[in-house]
Amino acid sequence: MAILHVDVNSAFLSWTAIKLLSEGYPTDIREIPSVISAGEDDSRHAIVLAKSTPAKKYGIKTADTIYSARKACPNLVSFFPDFELYKYHSDRMYELLCEYSPLVERYSIDECFIDYTGCEALYGEPLSVAKEINRRIREELGFTVNVGLGPNKLLAKMASDFEKPDRVHTLWPEEIEKKMWPLDIADLFMCGRKSVRKLRNININTIGDLAKADPEMISGILKTQGRMLWEYANGIDDSPVLLHYDAKDKSIGHSMTTRTDIESPEEAAPILHWLCEKAVYRMRKAGYIATVITVQFKNSDFEYYSHQARLRGGVQTVEEVYAYSKSLFKEGWRGEPLRLIGVSLSGLVTEAAEQLSFLGGDLGGDSQLIEPEESVKNKKKSEALENALAQIRNKFGRDSVGHVTTRDYSKKPR
């Protein structure tokens, strides 16, 4: 088996930098302290979605608030996200990767797995291809990636997280003891903050400590998560690379895993809005209307649950989906710290009825939802506005209309 994991370095920021440079912006924002942020800049709840390498030197992390990031780095510059732009670059990378294998999985907008098994006779040895992919993306697409190579998805992903940016790393079974076991336990894929704390309490501080521990003891402490983490520490993973088709999905959704816990609806709000924007963009591009909205949760113990509503009519604007999603979040959230939030749109149809109302509760089926905080009575007006904006962007470019403009380069961006 030969699996590659391709991970874009600071994807949102890199792709924004490419756009700005093409428009004449005088600085490559990858070379200065900069971030891409979700939420209004003057809000304490706006968060960092991506950061430059210089910003990392100030201790700025993904999911930090912009407020805390600016305290750490007063000269930080920030930009709003542009999902249409990011989807464009993601698609270009995906098309390039499909040249090397019929099995390419879009793990996220900026990550792909490639099952290269059996392709050696056509394209060459896996390591040579990994280096070629790294080079081609840099030279042909204008951004950099890390490429990890291993016998399964887990080891390929761990390898791609080694030294960054613009690197190729391998992690074969014979390399695990030297390359992976010395790493801090917090570096193990899927090992969250609560699990790290519990493991440190029993003097398990490195991945190697966990690999050598009694798996039954670990399962007793971390429950079902424990066995999986013990297997990961030993390089065990049999999950396949799965094809993912972007169009005509039964559901369209996005989720975001944060490095720090989400502990309030206010912290969740900008993430929810960002996820709604991404999901609605894909849905409208595919020509659908959603009749079911689901908000997904994963707590810091990696327990997953969700809350869902079915609509008599349908929704197709960001503000409608966001309004319902906030209500679903308030009803479905159990009040504990979260590591992941997701928004999924399903029940996809090509036409929707006029009347919108909730029928069901959560996936259990019998809780009654409250009405959204924002009224959705102006549905047609909202749809007309979004359609008009889409037409303007299609005719004059994706940046002709947005939340803010960055075209006046004499002014400091946000």
Q: Which of 105, 111, 267, 320 is catalytic?
A: 111
Residue 139 bears catalytic tag:
no
Which tokens hold the place of 202? 């029993």
Could you list the active site residues? 111
